[in-house]
Amino acid sequence: MNEYQFNVIGHIKSPYKQKFAIPRQPGLIPEASGQLVIAAPFNDEAIVRGIEAFSHLWLVFVFHETADKGWSPMVRPPRLGGNTRKGVFATRATFRPNPIGLSVVKLDKVVWKNGQLILEISGLDLLDGTPILDIKPYLPYSDALPSAKGGFADAAPSTAMTVSMSEQARIFCQQQQQHPHLQVFIEKVLKQDPRPPYKKQREGEQHYGMTLYDFNIKWTVNGEHNHVTEITQLL
Ligand code: SAH
């Protein structure tokens, strides 16, 4: 048997509403908080009993947004500037023979809300709506390997980008009591320079927009500086 069918056990609610600006791996932006909403018939308290004893979880998920785009044996990791090719199994690219992703996230809380079983998680790198196939506790004694080699991605990406905010943007962030870390979150998302590699070479001022949570964020990039011009609430 060479085909297997899986059941989606839940879906992700994520601040990242589009692929653009999602960090390349989990844990890079701890302020990104979301939820895993367990789907029926798995929404049974018994299924997560004991899970709170673990600080982190592995999530196995479907790259649902790009799943129908197929795959190729070699990919160009953005980390290498988008020009060097590596074998798909030597990368964490989304275009794989089986469009399955793997992310470790922090487990903040398990809650029941309006009859829904919800795992509150943070540090995620997942698109809103991502279907989850499995949850496994992270086991530090086996999963944490400090002497492991990281190939072409041996250290977390860093940039020289700086970020400033207009007065409107700063005040807007301060008013969001439901998202007390919103300003730091936005700053970290921009600091990683989400632009595609070819745009990083362009001269002059560039204008960008994105949605995080239900906020529309507009900013400009000039050299190595991002300036958030305006944040508005989506209706
Ligand atoms: N940690 C995972 C994901 C790495 S790729 C793994 O190693 O398997 C990270 C990229 O996946 C993000 O930049 C984002 O653009 C993309 N991504 C996240 N959720 C996705 C989804 N549901 N469908 C397609 N792409 C997704």
Q: What is the CATH number of the domain that holds 208?
A: 3.30.2310.20
Q: Is the pLDDT of residue 83 over 90?
A: no
- If you average pLDDT over residues 29-57, what whole number do you get? 97
pLDDT score of 235: 84
Average the pLDDT over 166-194 and give the result: 97
**What is the rounded average pLDDT of the residues 138-167?**
95
pLDDT value at residue 28: 95
Does residue 103 fall inside a structural domain? yes
For residue 75, being part of any structural domain is answered with yes
Question: What pLDDT does residue 198 have?
Answer: 84
**pLDDT over 90 at 82, yes or no:** no
Checking if the pLDDT of 118 tops 90, the result is yes
Residue 227 lies in a domain: yes
Same domain, 85 and 51: yes
DSSP string computed for 95-158:
--SS-EEEEEEEEEEEEEETTEEEEEEES----TTPEEEEEEE--HHHH--TT---GGG-S---
Backbone angles phi, psi at 111, to 5 degrees: -135, 150
Domain boundary, last residue among 93, 124, 151: 151
Domain identity same for 82 and 133: yes
Q: What value does the mean pLDDT take over residues 212-233? A: 97
- pLDDT of 81 > 90? The answer is no
Q: What is the mean pLDDT of residues 189-204?
A: 90
Q: Pick from 151, 183, 199: which residue ends a domain?
A: 151
pLDDT the model gives residue 46: 96
Q: Give the mean pLDDT of 39-54.
A: 96
**Is residue 136's pLDDT more than 90?**
yes
Q: What is the span of the domain harbouring residue 192? A: 162-233
The verdict on 46 and 76 lying in the same domain is yes
Same domain, yes or no, for 139 and 174?
no
Q: Are residues 147 and 166 in the same domain?
A: no
Query: Which atom of ligand 1 is nearest the CA belonging to 101?
Result: 8
* pLDDT over 90 percentage in the chain: 91
Q: Give me the pLDDT at residue 121, please.
A: 98
- Average predicted confidence (pLDDT) for the chain: 96
Residue 167 has pLDDT above 90, yes or no: yes
- Does 139 share its domain with 62? yes
Residue 157 domain flag: no
Residue 12 Cβ inside 6 Å of ligand 1? The answer reads no
CB distance 75 to ligand 1 below 6 Å: no
User: Is any ligand 1 atom within 6 A of the Cβ of residue 125?
Assistant: yes
Buried b (16+ CB within 10 A) or exposed e, 134-163: ebeebeeeeeeeeeeeeeeeeeeeeeebeb
The residue contributing the CA closest to ligand 1 atom 21 is 63
CATH number at residue 78: 2.40.30.70
139 part of a folded domain: yes
Asked whether residue 216 falls in the same domain as residue 195, the answer is yes
Same domain, 46 and 71: yes
Whether residues 108 and 173 fall in one domain: no
Q: Based on the domain organization, do 132 and 215 belong to the same domain?
A: no
For the Cβ of 126 lying below 6 angstroms from any atom of ligand 1, the answer is yes
Tell me the pLDDT band of 14, cut-offs 50, 70 and 90.
very high
Counting from 1 in the atom list of ligand 1, the atom nearest the Cα of 94 is 5
Please identify, among 105, 122, 151, the residue that sits at the C-terminal boundary of a domain. 151
178 CA → ligand 1 middle, Å: 26
Question: Measuring from atom 16 of ligand 1, which residue has the nearest CA?
Answer: 19
Domains of the chain: total: 2
Q: Is residue 3 part of a domain?
A: no
> Does the beta carbon of 101 lie inside 6 Å of ligand 1?
yes
Residue with tokens 């929404």: 43
Atom of ligand 1 nearest to the CA of 25: 1
β-pairing, 225-233 with 162-165? parallel
* Whether 82 and 194 share a structural domain: no
Q: How far is the CA of 100 from the centre of ligand 1 (A)?
A: 9
Is there a single domain that holds both residue 71 and residue 182? Answer: no
